[in-house]
Structure 1
């Protein structure tokens, strides 16, 4: 009988499937219909995974407990106020944070659960970590990352970024891949500064590293979480781990998110906007036949539909960075069709051998974008307004074809002596076809079409040494040689005329290196110093009307960093502090807009960055835990000969050198706030029987930012402070939890980005939302 139940339960696990609720239809439904749709979404998930409860309870009586996660070690017995020991893989090995000579922050557990409960996407991490900013002019599908103010505002299909995103050891190179939703994660590591030796090219600013929760052979376990909030924002998340035998285990996790359209369009275009449906899943298999070999297989997919980013015409007051009088976030006037959809999938195989003298790893990854299309009103209005609209611009674009393959072989020593090492080979290939179209804003018919293809091939060999001089001093050094080639060609150009060649190739080689020293002042306090280099391969921008293919040369960085890391007050508190300075040569920048309505890649002769970062975490009592983070990030462009087009309808603050062209020498980098700060606090009240009433709040602040390379009064983002609040109750030993929450509780609305086509068009952050959530762990 038990065997039949086991078989049936396993079948139920693999039958979990995505549920597609068309958000455009939702916008037209009545309240009762929308409620039924949300209930169907939640009930399907809960009922499907609900079979795991009796099945898991039965097996739990005969299996061992779950092994501790790689990211934390529990405090010693009798030390309830001690913080867990945090470990990271910033150097491709599991190490304690205070032993790693890098400025790194780790997010995990309840912190990630809180941030994700309101249907948030990856941009919710902005400001939650020192020196990290994330923004997008494409909504949920095309995030751009900045570390220490160093990033790239390029929004084209072929854009590269100086911040690399690694998901389960596989790089996500195309920006459309970087927005994969956050769910069922073991942790998120943010590595600040160049990571060129061990993580390769396109990491001069740093790395954001996501690690999903892995299968284990211990027991059936998992969770499900259901939340509902303002604008019918539903978030359903679930995961289940199943040992299939004494050698095989499976973990399946999924996420369903939905939000109704909440913006009304009064201009004749798509009538209801700003809703979305997000569906994602991940299936993993662990094979561990003995103590010398294990294999982890990962299959994942994502499907999202909804509104593209809403560009709101002339919402910025002339001569001010504030909104015009009467601005209403829930209303817009545009005559365009607005839609967006993205479908991605991928897989990876991570094989490891624990041999007599060394450990050997093979990591194979494949990612594909089967379709990506986004269409919207770039001018943000209609021929009659709001405000002055110099020309109508309705565009669409995306990815027609994409595939990415990567392979790494790595060998490392076994940490059995003072000298340890690792070395490896790396191969990367990406083939992407991107397209763009213009549409007539009256007839909605396509007026032009452009399709381009880029093939990118990269090879690398790398190595790293670590030497323990004595019990206190550890020295490290690394070296990486990379060859990177890009072949770019125009495949289709219907009603588009541009000058210059229709194809171009770029080939660049580079040697990146790093040197560091870590010195333990005591067993709880260590200091470090590091110098590192990195590079970003050349970038190629597609042609447009009257603008040829443009190329930005490779950029290189040299970074200096020093810091101190300490466990304080018998490990009741932890503090990490760092200072840094970097110089970038030939930084790749994106010049957009102005009178010419052009998009071009350019290089700045030099940019600099200086700053400091602080991470602090403390258990102030058995009930109260707080974290504090902050950073100061100064950036400056240093190139007296670099000119860009300005905004004719703006109050320009730079010197005009030639008609329509302005010097940006001395300007800060775009989307680079000088100040970032964050704080969280959790207060728990024991209620008996292992129950707890808790209060949790999180706040993130960033100072003002420039949207573009030039300085103007209007295209300057105001400082932004956003807060979250959560009040919940846990019972039955953390098995169940119910909570009420709010995001952006002060309802602070500001412009977070702009579109410069000679009008003051901008887009905004999300308004306040409230919600309730239920979670069950088994």
Structure 2
């Protein structure tokens, strides 16, 4: 048995744990999109383009018709994004299941989202963790998990690129990319605002305004903002003695305040175009609650008696958290005639903190077993990125682009454990003001790349790309976890890892006729090495994982019919991730990071979007997925508390001392559902001087395991959730009423296995909205 043991759900706390939540909504085929042609027009108009109804994407760093891109891409319009977050929901978490292939979850509230594409993601809760899904906002990579949490607003279009994207976008894209493009400054005055109010006093206000600053329109601007608020709605029912001064009460958790702004200025004169953008974020709220004891042994059904509005926490001060981020970027394009030279410079700064009860409940209610809390602080993060690219015009049979990039991220991260917060030792643990660590993390990377596309005939296009990248990670322990007297207990101060890897892709697109295309793609991407430094807070050495590589094979068909009013798409894929990075805990419960031999997955995806009659649009997507871990020497530490297994494990189990381990070879990856179905529709009809409409969206998922070992309790089967909206459009105004989770489903989305604690979706919310656009 390997001494490195994988354990999915470590008792690490609401503030810091990253639990597997919900299932992954699997991949939509390339042309399928939840945006109708009208929505695509809106998105294009937001970027100043007129595309005659075609859906334009930038999956290959150029503006191209989605139907002509041999890459699996899902698209959402800006209007779709506003609908999903109308109730004040997290603008990122609300995307989960809306584009098949993309799932987003968090067990740390709104400051630590984790992204999954085709079942590949990272469940690590460490603040320095890397993810195989990259997030890009307006051409700037958001590498750190806190930067990934920056809300998206005033968005023109969202693109989800599935599969490795290592040629044009670089490392840490072994699963894919989520790419957000905001509404850009324009030479004509444009503006919109959307305001809503609903359950729990949820407020959502989003808008933008912009236009020319000079008479000729050579300088223009766009000012955008987002405000979200929700009252606390979860009661802390604990009334006993607290070792750190936590006091329960009514409506003390679940609320938040989100305040964001962005200003863009565009200079467009002759061959030169320069866009300068700056943004700020100010957030405070509470982290995701874990409901201890809400999972009943022998079943994965949510008990009817379970209430999301009540929880009993004896520590953690009701799980507060906050984040502040700022950033700016400069993108410059210069038309040289034979090619366009592009420079993209970005800077991001952030700091945040999050504190929580680590056992998800009051230990006094469970025979005084399971006291714990923790806190993570990103004291300071500074990220610089620079890319230079030279690209030929797109209207030529031979098209090419070459470039290079440099990335530098440096942060100071603090972790505080339970004894740091205690004010007494009533429960047997003495206060220790030195029970914390401080780490300095440095991540640098460079890459050079090139891509060539050639129209062999008017039907056949071949494309190939190659990239060479280096990724370096360096973690230094600046302050060790000391005993109360100040004596150090750990002295492994410095770890450095480096990896230089090639990545590539090769694709072929063949047009049977103008409305039917076949494509095939092989691609390889890699995720850089990773260091797990948080283990120092337990007095344990850092653990590491070497680079992982994903080789993916994909083929599909894209079709257009009914005069362009319908698309049907089908594809299949197979991938192998070698040296896949996994994380968990060892025999002593300490957090570890390591490589398993490999994991593999395969599946099929089909999608249909259609406007069959005037006023009606709908789309549906279905995906099937199989994933499995392939390493006979990797074992998972399973649900155990005080030396007893508390759940029903379906793998063979071996006991080592007071711990229990299951062999996970052949098991599916966490958060990889066997099937997923999504559906949405909108019908509108003229009524009086305006137009009445009704729209709905639904998502359902099949069997999904939240842990790497098979268990009866820690999985879901048949989760579903839907939304409904009814309204009236009149000239530039829209009035509507809506409901999210309209059937008030109680869906289990994640687990903390040793405490039989669950993470659940929000209850039903209802409300009203008003918007204005000109």
TM-score (normalised: structure 1): 0.87
1:602, 1:409 → 2: CA distance?
34
Give SS of 2:168's match. Answer: helix
Give how far 1:704 is off.
Answer: 2.9
Residue 489 of structure 1, CA deviation: 1.0
TM-fit CA distance, 1:71:
9.4
Q: Structure 2: how far apart are the matches of 1:328 and 1:254? A: 34
Aligned match of 1:577: 570
Q: Corresponding residue for 1:468? A: 455
Determine whether 1:132 maps to 2:102: yes
Which residue is equivalent to 1:18? none
The answer to whether 1:183 aligns with 2:153 is yes
Name the residue aligned to 1:95.
64
Distance 2:579 2:724 in 1: 43
- Report the counterpart of residue 729 of structure 2 in structure 1: 730
CA displacement at 1:539 relative to structure 2: 0.7
Query: Is 2:523 the partner of 1:532?
Result: yes
1:18-71 Cα deviation digits (max 9, x unpaired): xxxxxxxxxxxxxxxxxxxxxxxxxxxxxxxxxxxxxxxxxxxxxxx9983559
SS of corresponding position for 1:128: coil
CA distance in 2, matches of 1:253, 1:462: 34
**CA deviations over 1:726-758 (Å, ceiling 9, x no partner):** 0000102xx0001000000011112211224x3
Alignment counterpart, residue 739 of structure 2, candidates 737, 742, 755: 742
- 2:26 corresponding residue in structure 1: none
The alpha carbon displacement at 1:548 in A equals 1.6
Question: How many pairs does the alignment contain?
Answer: 697
Q: Could you tell me which of 755, 758, 766 is aligned with 1:770?
A: 766
CA separation in 1, counterparts of 2:718 and 2:652? 25
Structure 1 residue ranges, 4+ long, deviating more than 6 angstroms after superposition:
none
2:589 corresponding residue in structure 1? 597
Maintained 8 Å contact 2:676/2:699:
yes
Q: In structure 2, the residue corresponding to 1:494 is in which secondary structure?
A: coil
| Alpha-carbon contact 2:482-2:489 (below 8 Å) kept | no
C-alpha distance in 2 between matches for 1:321 and 1:498: 41
Q: Does the alignment pair 1:398 with 2:391? A: no
Work out which of the residue numbers 322, 326, 335 in structure 2 matches 1:345: 326
User: In the alignment, which of 164, 169, 187 is matched to residue 217 of structure 1?
Assistant: 187
Aligned counterparts, 1:355-394, within 5 A = 355-369=336-350, 371-385=351-365, 387=366, 390-394=369-373
Per-residue deviation, residues 296-316 of structure 1 (Å, max 9, x unmatched): 111011111011111211110
Partner Cα separation in structure 2 for residue 658 and residue 505 of structure 1: 35
SS at match of 1:710: coil
Looking at structure 2, the residues matched to 278 and 632 of structure 1 have their Cα atoms a distance apart, in angstroms, of 36
Q: By how many angstroms is 1:415 displaced?
A: 2.9
Q: Partners in 1 of 2:406 and 2:128 — Cα distance?
A: 19
With 189-198 and 615-624 compared, the bigger mean Cα shift is at 615-624
| Deviation at residue 467 of structure 1 after TM alignment | 0.6
Equivalence map 1:479-558=2 (5 Å):
479-495=466-482, 501-542=492-533, 543=535, 544-558=537-551
Kindly indicate whether residue 705 of structure 2 is the aligned counterpart of residue 706 of structure 1. yes
Sort the Cα spacing of 1:701 and 1:629 in 2 relative to 1 into closer, same or farther, 3 A: same
Residues 295-314 of structure 1 mapped to structure 2, 5 A cutoff: 295-314=274-293
Mapping 1:75-94, distance limit 5 Å? 75=52, 84-94=53-63
SS of the aligned residue for 2:568 comes to strand
Say if 2:604 is the partner of 1:612. yes
Partner in structure 1 of residue 416 of structure 2: 437
- The corresponding residue for 1:655 is 652
Corresponding residue number in structure 2 for 1:672: 672
Aligned with 2:755 (options 759, 764, 772): 759
Q: Is the 8 A contact 1:73 1:86 kept in 2?
A: no
Q: For 2:363 and 2:509, how far apart are their aligned partners in 1?
A: 62
Deviations 1:401-440 (A, max 9, x none): 1011000000011134321100001000000121111235
| TM-score for both structures, normalised by structure 2 | 0.87
Who is 1:68 aligned against?
45
Structure 1: state its 5+ residue gaps.
Answer: 1-64, 76-83
Please report how far the alpha carbon of residue 326 of structure 1 lies from its aligned counterpart in structure 2 after TM superposition: 2.8
Q: 1:287 to 1:236 in 2, by over 3 A?
A: same
Match of 1:78?
A: none
Identify which of 61, 73, 78 aligns with 1:104: 73
Does the residue aligned with 2:513 lie in a helix, a strand or coil? coil
Q: Distance in 1 between matches of 2:287 and 2:46?
A: 38
- 1:117-150 CA distance string (max 9 Å, x none): 1111111111111121111111111100000001
Q: Which has the higher contact order (CA 8 A, sep 6+)?
A: 2
Kindly tell me: are residues 280 and 714 of structure 1, through their superposed partners in 2, closer, same or farther at Cα, counting changes over 3 Å?
same
Residue number in structure 2 paired with 1:48: none
Distance 1:203 1:640 in 2: 27
CA distance in structure 2 between the aligned counterparts of 1:128 and 1:388, rounded to whole angstroms: 43
C-alpha distance 66-499 of structure 1, shift in aligned 2 (>3 A): closer
Distance 2:156 2:204 in 1: 19
Task: Assess, with a 3 A threshold, how the Cα gap between structure 1 residues 316 and 67 changes in structure 2: closer, same or farther.
Answer: closer
Residue of structure 2 in register with 1:239 after alignment: 208
Query: Are the aligned partners of 1:130 and 1:614 in contact in 2 as well (CA < 8 Å)?
Result: no
Matched position secondary structure for 1:696:
strand
**Residue number in structure 2 paired with 1:166:** 136
Residue of structure 1 in register with 2:686 after alignment: 686
8 Å CA contact 2:47, 2:183 repeated in 1 = no
User: What secondary structure does 1:277 align onto?
Assistant: strand
Distance in 1 separating the partners of 2:269 and 2:442: 39
> What residue in structure 1 maps to residue 616 of structure 2?
624
- The residue correspondences of 1:289-328 to structure 2 (distance < 5 A) are 289-290=269-270, 292-324=271-303, 326-328=305-307
- How far apart, in 2, do the equivalents of 1:67 and 1:186 lie? 7
Q: 1:446 to 1:500 in 2, by over 3 A?
A: closer
Compared CA separation, residues 267 and 224, structure 1 to 2 (3 A) = same
State the distance in 2 between where 1:186 and 1:324 align: 41
Describe the shift of the 1:420–1:579 C-alpha distance in structure 2 as closer, same or farther (beyond 3 A).
same
The alpha carbon displacement at 1:615 in A equals 2.7
